[in-house]
Structure 1
Amino acid sequence: MDFQPTEDQRDLRAGVRGLLEGRYGREALRAAVDAAAGAGDGAGAGTAVDRGLWRELGEAGFFALRLPESEGGVGLGLPEAVLVFEEAGRALVPGPLVATHLAAGVVPGAAAGTAVVTAFDLAGDRAGDLVAYLGEADAVLGAAVLPGGEPVRAADPLTPLHRVARPDGADVSAYGSAYGSAYVSEGALLTAALQVGSALRTVELAVRYAGEREQFGQPIGAFQAVKHLCAQMLVRAEVARTAVYAAAVTGDPGEAVGAKLLADEAAVRNARDCLQVHGGMGFTWEADVHLHLKRAWVRAEQWRTAAEAEELLAAELLDSAG
């Protein structure tokens, strides 16, 4: 079994990177962040999803990537999807990318990018369930109607959250069960791919800054402690990427769970280490490091949390031992 990307897959990844660099580069990212910050209390006010970009992604086949050609899709599979989502994670593209991708062929307009679809993929509390981008969504995956919700403060300025009250005290599974195990497994894997893209990007940011910032007359990247930190970041990201690619090829739900666990750790820890390399500069609003960290925190709570992943992996190990 070959886990190395083919030439066509590498071309696909390069094409998506080029599209995002031209359409959602750093200037567009910072403009979106500033707009979200200016919206008020940080809960979001319809500023995170760029509908024009969403339609362009739809036209490029981002959401219809795995739909059969007979249904107007591209006819590719999970291995290609994780490559595409990795690039979206690297660019920090906001919006319910995973949910809209999963909704292609189910929700009208999702495949073409003319509809924004979110999902009940976040854990909530006793007061209700958290839903990202609800205020900007046209539909919720698995729900017959678009529910109302109360805006809540979000850590990530580009991931607005709403709390939706559970009807009659019902758990989110009343909605989520409609997804089916395949949706949850694929959602976790695609979210893991987003995390891998972010983890790899923070490696790039850390290495670049370490080569530019000088202390005692030389770049800080010359110091052994910084070298080790960057090396650990790279290893962490590559291990997670390998796990994501392997799970995409095999399609095994257990491997998808393990990949999500590794990718969440890589994205969060790499962002923290990148911030450490940047020192005081990393804590400023102008630096991009904090955006990767905040987005990684949110994604770590989507589709499969670390606690859920560990329980599922433990159960699988017990079953295989029995």
Structure 2
Amino acid sequence: MRFQPTDDQRALRDAVRGLLARRFGGEALRAAVDEPGRLDRALWRELGAAGFFALRRPESEGGVGLGLPEAVLVFEEAGRTLLPGPLVATHLAAGEVPGAASGEVVVTAAGGGLVEWLAEADVVRGDVRGAVPLRSVDPLTPLHRVPAACGVDPVAVLFTAAEQLGSATRACELAVQHARAREQFGRPIGAFQAVQHLCAEMLVRTETARAAVYAAAVTAHPADIDTARLLADEAAVRGARDCLQVHGGMGFTWEFEVHLHLKRAWVRTRRTGSATESEERLAAELLTESL
């Protein structure tokens, strides 16, 4: 990927999108919302069999043998479909925790003062003593708070940014689809300038974040990763809010996924520490380069 996916990378992305559409489409998403806190182990094993968790492991070790750019594309698709579960933690544990790569074992980790899916996890990485359950805003992400915030792997930050990018992309798609189909005063609401501006701003934020996330996947530089995180967080949160604005009150109803994208985006912003931490690291890096 030279900041644009190659043909092979596009084929990988399309294959993952097809798999998730079959296994975690709209009906499965609503079913998961109706059973909060329950992880679909069969789906988890299917992800493992498809190479989701072993994507970056060498072929000699039973992995797929791909790199960071390909993994970013895969996590972008996971974010687009609101796939639940500690995906990032299990992926990072592949090769270190037996069974993680195949999806037989669910791994979670303490990071940023929060732990996702603690009750469902088979292996927990990090100190979770004194963990307290939280009422999560996202029904698809059960949370616990831990007393001390643990360090965060930069790769986890990048993968979370990729999920945010996928969510922002989906919110933009949903807004445009609704703007074309919904009519008011005898015209599609997309014909009104205010709605056009909302959709255009969503697209600009999403594509700006995409460029940053893809660039960070190529360089793997900490400053690039922090930049990608900040832009992707903004694209996901503001994109979901604007998508709700386009949908109006119906966007908050359970039969629509729009509000779920906003709630998941909020949770992801806290998964890898606060945005302030990324801003401070980025500022320090820029200051050092200017001296």
TM value normalised by structure 1: 0.87
Render the CA deviation track for 1:244-274: whole Å, top value 9, x for unaligned.
0000011111101110010001000000000
2:155 is aligned with 1:162: no
Query: Which of the numbers 65, 71, 74 marks the counterpart of 1:75?
Result: 65
2:286 is aligned with 1:302: no
Render the CA deviation track for 1:267-295: whole Å, top value 9, x for unaligned.
00000000000011112222211100000
Query: Which of the numbers 198, 206, 222 marks the counterpart of 2:167?
Result: 198
Query: Which of the numbers 124, 135, 150 marks the counterpart of 1:140?
Result: 124
Q: Using the alignment, how far apart are the partners of 1:217 and 1:233 within structure 2?
A: 25
Q: Using the alignment, how far apart are the partners of 1:162 and 1:14 within structure 2?
A: 34
- Structure 2 matches for 1:110-189, cutoff 5 A? 110-123=100-113, 130-142=114-126, 149-164=131-146, 166=147, 171-173=148-150, 176=151, 184-189=153-158
- Structure 2 matches for 1:9-24, cutoff 5 A? 9-24=9-24
Q: In the alignment, which residue of structure 2 is the partner of 1:6?
A: 6
2:197 is aligned with 1:228: yes
SS at match of 1:271: helix
Contact 2:76 2:165 in 1 (8 A): yes
Q: Using the alignment, how far apart are the partners of 1:82 and 1:304 within structure 2?
A: 19
Q: Unaligned 5+ residue runs, structure 1? A: 37-43, 124-129, 177-182
Contact 2:112 2:149 in 1 (8 A): no
Q: Using the alignment, how far apart are the partners of 1:198 and 1:154 within structure 2?
A: 18
By how many angstroms is 1:142 displaced?
4.1
Matched to 1:228, the amino acid is H
Q: In the alignment, which residue of structure 2 is the partner of 1:246?
A: 215
2:74 is aligned with 1:84: yes
Q: In the alignment, which residue of structure 1 is the partner of 2:254?
A: 285
Q: Using the alignment, how far apart are the partners of 1:132 and 1:261 within structure 2?
A: 21
Percent identity reads 69
Matched to 1:255, the amino acid is D
Q: In the alignment, which residue of structure 1 is the partner of 2:92?
A: 102
Q: Using the alignment, how far apart are the partners of 2:94 and 2:111 within structure 1?
A: 17
TM value normalised by structure 2: 0.96
Q: Using the alignment, how far apart are the partners of 1:221 and 1:163 within structure 2?
A: 42
Q: In the alignment, which residue of structure 2 is the partner of 1:39?
A: none
Q: Aligned pairs, how many?
A: 291
Render the CA deviation track for 1:191-249: whole Å, top value 9, x for unaligned.
00000000000001101111111100010011111111101101111110110000001
Q: Using the alignment, how far apart are the partners of 1:256 and 1:149 within structure 2?
A: 28
Q: Using the alignment, how far apart are the partners of 1:227 and 1:285 within structure 2?
A: 25
Q: Using the alignment, how far apart are the partners of 1:273 and 1:27 within structure 2?
A: 24
Contact 2:25 2:81 in 1 (8 A): yes
SS at match of 1:15: helix
Q: Unaligned 5+ residue runs, structure 2? A: none
Render the CA deviation track for 1:291-316: whole Å, top value 9, x for unaligned.
00000000011114211111001100
Q: Using the alignment, how far apart are the partners of 1:88 and 1:8 within structure 2?
A: 18
Q: In the alignment, which residue of structure 2 is the partner of 1:268?
A: 237
Give the ranges of 4+ consecutive aligned residues of structure 1 lying more than 6 Å apart after TM superposition.
none
SS at match of 2:35: helix
Contact 2:158 2:228 in 1 (8 A): yes
Matched to 2:149, the amino acid is V
Render the CA deviation track for 1:131-189: whole Å, top value 9, x for unaligned.
1100011112245xx7574422110001001234x4xxxx333xx3xxxxxx6110000
Contact 2:162 2:232 in 1 (8 A): yes
SS at match of 2:119: helix
Contact 1:156 1:298 in 2 (8 A): yes
Contact 2:138 2:260 in 1 (8 A): yes
Q: Using the alignment, how far apart are the partners of 1:84 and 1:141 within structure 2?
A: 23
Query: Which of the numbers 46, 49, 58 marks the counterpart of 1:56?
Result: 46
SS at match of 2:205: helix
